[in-house]
Structure 1
Amino acid sequence: MLVKVFGSAVFGVEATTITVEVNIDKGVGYHLVGLPDNAIKESSYRIAAALKNNNYSLPVKKITINMAPADMRKEGSAYDLTIAIGILVATGQIQAEELDRYIIMGELSLDGGLQPIKGALSIAIKAKEEGYKGFILPIQNVKEAAIVEGLDVYGVENVLQVIDFFEGKGDLQPTVIDTQTEFSRTLDFPEFDFSDVKGQEGIKRCMEIAAAGGHNIILIGPPGSGKTMLAKRMPSILPPMTMKEALETTKIHSVAGKIKDAGLMSQRPFRSPHHTASSVSLVGGGSYPQPGEISLAHNGVLFLDELPEFKREVLEVMRQPLEDREVTISRAKFTITYPSSFMLVASMNPSPGGYFNDPDAPVSTSPAEMQRYLSKISGPLLDRIDIHIEVNPVPFEKLTETRKAESSAEIRKRVTLAREIQSKRFEQFDNLHYNAQMGSKYIREFCVLDETSLQLLKTAMERLNLSARAYDRILKVARTIADLEAAENIKPNHIAEAIQYRSLDREGWLG
């Protein structure tokens, strides 16, 4: 007897429906075809034990299982439940009239229990698109899959529940999640709040500008000046995610198996890889392709602490994703594209010893050593960072202040208003949402300067020896400063403030 059961495979962040054909014939043998990997080939042992421990059996007959399309490689252990139900129906041990209306996925334990799978949200979205009635999966993944409206999502704990469901014996009910309620959870009480930061008002202002325009930012300062503390609080002042952004972010984390019994992600991600990270861990890929840190930071913040300590080749792979806001991984047998629209926040010491031109510093560094240290960061990478700011140690008077600093919620209100101005400005453009995404064409259109501002910028570039690459960056940052003040045009004071945020372009830093 031939039976067809439906599962799904995830490539990149998109799912593809897989038809599992189970054929029972005379003879003895277990044949699994359709390019399965070792995890799927080993499924026969898990399935046999799970069925036996629940009073069912793997028949002593010739069992042929084809996973179509047969030329597409299938990976992982999530097809155990799909194959097991197919065998039970094909051998007549259970009846399942509506089997073809459901996507079934799950890894079996030897006692028949189910282990969580990856990519549940992507699979649920595809199942709804293709008109399936429901999706049966492990209960650990049910919240993320139930985000998809118009699809019955059933979370199960063991194979017996699935058998009873198809035979009409159980009381299994679809999981219903109020997506709006899930999404409405705000960041009013974040774990890291700017009210905890003593002093550093200038740096807070700089980070507010970065958040308002989506600008990449690098913090340069000696140890203990608060760079990491400030960076960790950046997500708390970013605008709340839109529903589209929340779905995109949840889908990526679902594919990577990072969703732990949670539904829709309502908070922007914050990723902070160690400086020993490899290129693959940063951009994604591998023999079993997985999204990397830059994709896990999609719609959020990627924090690179001690930037010069990262291997140069690791940093260089970020150049294209920073520009295109997606990363394409090409191998001989596959090509996968992951979204990677993130905000880069980097920090670094100004020299190997951590101190710059400070005669009282405990560790002294020669100019040659400092220049060699800074040259680890390439010009093209710095070209993609709009704001460079020096962070100085907090004086004792500020540290001992009892007055509470401004909270993240108050800063976020101003940031959100500035983003709304930008959204309205760029509403006719598909891939342009905030100032940091502007190219040269849009800078000329939206960053027009009056004569006074133009003269001020010219003088600054000449006297401070600013590089040519600083020109566009200053204009974009000035546009954001103007948006924070709800000003229609860029004024000289906006340009003057933006010029301050190009430390590494000045002579004496990187030349």
Structure 2
Amino acid sequence: MVAIVSTAAYLGLEARAVEVQVQLTPGLPKFVVVGLPDKMVAESRERVRSAIAALGLSLPPKHITVNLSPADLPKEGSHYDLPIALGLLAAMGVVDAETLSQYLIVGELGLDGRVASSPGVLLAALHASERQLGLICPAAQGGEAAWAGSIEVIPAPDLLSLLNHLRGTALLPAPTPGLADDPERGPNLSQVRGQETAKRALEIAAAGGHNLLMIGPPGAGKSLMAACLPGILPELTAGEALEVSMVASVAGALEGGRISRTRPFRSPHHSASMAALVGGGIRAKPGEVSLAHLGVLFLDELPEFQRTVLDSLRQPLETGNVSVARANAHVTFPARVQLIAAMNPCRCGHLGDPALACARAPRCAADYQAKVSGPLLDRIDLHVEVGAVSAADLVLPPPSEGSAEVGARVRAAREVQTLRYNGNGVRTNAEADGAVLEAVATPDEPGRKLLAQAAEAMRLSARGYTRIQRVARTIADLAGADTVGRIHVAEALSYRRQAPRN
């Protein structure tokens, strides 16, 4: 007899069906797992053996063969423990194999029989829903799985409780979708003294989902303003929250299986590797740019990142996804992020200040800024100079407008864009392109003339020209204007600068 249970393998954000086939045959006692298992899956034999022993059972003195089918699909992860254990118990006659055939099963086992959390439960739940199966998963992730819709979810705290549930002797309660508590929204914009131009650029960036680069001396408030951004961004819609949570689920980053409606804000250190930033590694996991999907990726001290690492962001920023190619896998993760970057104007940070600037100015500024490639800078919509904060600014009373007031304008502009692009697969102005962009962002006649003159004088690339159109459309949305006018184009041009020659 061969006992068969269903589970899943994860390839990027795709869950693929896997059959766990367990057979007991006469012969020397041996426990073999085949079907391209990695080291973690091969080690499941000892966890399964100990978990079954914790039930007071022993493995039969037979040759145990576990086949993970299809055999040509690499299997990795600890979530195969529970399906292997249940398949083995079904082959031993402890649990009904017909009952197990109605479920997709994932979960890691402890030596004492507890079912521990494992990454990817939300993907497994969505996959089970597509196949019209129920789901057996760790109890701690039942709330995560419940977001998949109207499927039966059995949250198992341990192997014994699960067996009692399947036999009908002690039923486990059904989980409810878990929603994370609202986190602290970070600092308020009212804490930023002065910097009106930079705050205006931050509002435009938030309203249209645009990339922003702030250049200024140390202590000018660049990092503080970036930290204020989550407080003015609108919450994720239900669909967006599920999209973001799928990435977090694969990365094992959903705390307690609860989904948050707050947009991600990721701020990796400048020592981050390419695999950490864009994804990869032996098992092709999502990187920071994917974990920030539909949120903010903040890169402080931009030139201090390795140049090759920064240039690896060029394709994700343009397409909204990142493809990781490896010898044994080719996976694609979503990466529709809003890049916020901050940097000093030069290595000493005090370019333009006669009292503090180094003796190599302005050559040191050219060398320092050249560490960021021109093509990457061309993908950043808004460039703003952040001046040093004076003592006079510090003694002023807090500004009348804070994050609540700015956030209200940002939400109103986003609502306009949602209605405008409904059905086009576009969320914000920053994503609009081609005919869709031409239809909504073509300026009036004075605006077209100004844009054409500026494109010639500033020697804008086609990408730069398009990005100015997008920013101008956002500025018009904030102003409540139906048509992009000359004044909107002029403000958009003021935030654009030519990339330095390398």
Return the TM-score normalized by structure 2. Answer: 0.94
- 2-structure distance, mates of 1:493, 1:383: 23
Whether the 8 Å CA contact 1:194–1:405 is kept in 2: the answer is no
State the partner residue of 1:237. 232
Secondary structure of residue in 2 paired with 1:63: strand
Indicate yes or no: 2:99 matched with 1:105: no
Q: Report the CA distance between 1:380 and its aligned residue.
A: 1.0
Greater mean alpha carbon deviation, residues 437-446 or residues 301-310: 437-446
- 2-structure distance, mates of 1:233, 1:262: 27
State the partner residue of 1:45. 46
Secondary structure of residue in 2 paired with 1:393: coil
State the partner residue of 2:471. 477
State the partner residue of 2:369. 374
Whether the 8 Å CA contact 2:351–2:357 is kept in 1: the answer is no
Q: Deviations over 1:289-317 (max 9, x none)?
A: 10111110100000111111111111111
Secondary structure of residue in 2 paired with 1:294: helix
State the partner residue of 1:505. 498
Secondary structure of residue in 2 paired with 1:347: strand
Greater mean alpha carbon deviation, residues 360-369 or residues 279-288: 360-369
Report the CA distance shift for 1:471/1:82 in structure 2 as closer, same or farther (over 3 A).
Answer: closer
State the partner residue of 1:348. 343
State the partner residue of 1:224. 219
Whether the 8 Å CA contact 2:15–2:124 is kept in 1: the answer is yes
Whether the 8 Å CA contact 1:97–1:166 is kept in 2: the answer is no
- 1-structure distance, mates of 2:176, 2:456: 63
State the partner residue of 1:493. 487
Indicate yes or no: 2:6 matched with 1:12: no
Tell me, which stretches of 5 or more residues in structure 1 are unaligned?
A: none
C-alpha RMSD over aligned residues: 2.1
Whether the 8 Å CA contact 2:182–2:260 is kept in 1: the answer is no
Whether the 8 Å CA contact 1:54–1:112 is kept in 2: the answer is yes
Whether the 8 Å CA contact 2:191–2:398 is kept in 1: the answer is no
Report the CA distance shift for 1:138/1:450 in structure 2 as closer, same or farther (over 3 A).
Answer: closer
Secondary structure of residue in 1 paired with 2:148: coil
Whether the 8 Å CA contact 1:147–1:263 is kept in 2: the answer is no
State the partner residue of 1:83. 84
Q: Report the CA distance between 1:213 and its aligned residue.
A: 1.1
- 2-structure distance, mates of 1:280, 1:333: 16
Q: Deviations over 1:274-331 (max 9, x none)?
A: 1111111111111111011111010000011111111111111111111110111122
Alignment-mate amino acid for residue 336 of structure 1 = V
Report the CA distance shift for 1:225/1:256 in structure 2 as closer, same or farther (over 3 A).
Answer: same
State the partner residue of 2:272. 277
State the partner residue of 2:2. 2
Indicate yes or no: 2:124 matched with 1:123: yes
Q: Report the CA distance between 1:343 and its aligned residue.
A: 0.4
Q: Deviations over 1:375-415 (max 9, x none)?
A: 11111111111100011122223323343542323212211
Q: Deviations over 1:182-233 (max 9, x none)?
A: 49x778x623322332332221111111111111110000000011111112
Return the TM-score normalized by structure 1. Answer: 0.92
Whether the 8 Å CA contact 2:429–2:473 is kept in 1: the answer is yes
Report the CA distance shift for 1:167/1:450 in structure 2 as closer, same or farther (over 3 A).
Answer: closer
Whether the 8 Å CA contact 2:190–2:398 is kept in 1: the answer is no
Aligned residues: 500
Alignment-mate amino acid for residue 163 of structure 1 = L
- 2-structure distance, mates of 1:143, 1:371: 53
Q: Report % sequence identity.
A: 42
Report the CA distance shift for 1:322/1:403 in structure 2 as closer, same or farther (over 3 A).
Answer: closer
Report the CA distance shift for 1:18/1:443 in structure 2 as closer, same or farther (over 3 A).
Answer: closer
State the partner residue of 1:268. 263
- 1-structure distance, mates of 2:217, 2:203: 22
Secondary structure of residue in 2 paired with 1:52: helix
Greater mean alpha carbon deviation, residues 270-279 or residues 466-475: 466-475
Q: Report the CA distance between 1:97 and its aligned residue.
A: 4.3
Whether the 8 Å CA contact 1:186–1:240 is kept in 2: the answer is no
Report the CA distance shift for 1:63/1:486 in structure 2 as closer, same or farther (over 3 A).
Answer: same
State the partner residue of 1:445. 439
Report the CA distance shift for 1:44/1:450 in structure 2 as closer, same or farther (over 3 A).
Answer: closer
Q: Deviations over 1:60-99 (max 9, x none)?
A: 1111111111111110121111111111121123445411
Whether the 8 Å CA contact 2:351–2:362 is kept in 1: the answer is no
- 1-structure distance, mates of 2:294, 2:237: 10
- 2-structure distance, mates of 1:64, 1:458: 71
Q: Deviations over 1:2-28 (max 9, x none)?
A: 211111111101211211111111112
State the partner residue of 2:304. 309
- 1-structure distance, mates of 2:489, 2:352: 28
Alignment-mate amino acid for residue 33 of structure 1 = V
Q: Report the CA distance between 1:481 and its aligned residue.
A: 0.7
Whether the 8 Å CA contact 1:329–1:336 is kept in 2: the answer is yes
Of 243, 246, 250, the residue aligned with 2:241 is: 246
Report the CA distance shift for 1:259/1:403 in structure 2 as closer, same or farther (over 3 A).
Answer: same
Secondary structure of residue in 2 paired with 1:98: helix
Tell me, which stretches of 5 or more residues in structure 2 are unaligned?
A: none
Q: Report the CA distance between 1:164 and its aligned residue.
A: 1.0
Q: Report the CA distance between 1:475 and its aligned residue.
A: 2.5
Greater mean alpha carbon deviation, residues 467-476 or residues 99-108: 467-476
Secondary structure of residue in 2 paired with 1:78: helix
- 2-structure distance, mates of 1:473, 1:165: 57
- 1-structure distance, mates of 2:374, 2:169: 67
Alignment-mate amino acid for residue 22 of structure 2 = V
Secondary structure of residue in 1 paired with 2:78: coil
Whether the 8 Å CA contact 2:190–2:399 is kept in 1: the answer is yes
Whether the 8 Å CA contact 2:442–2:448 is kept in 1: the answer is no
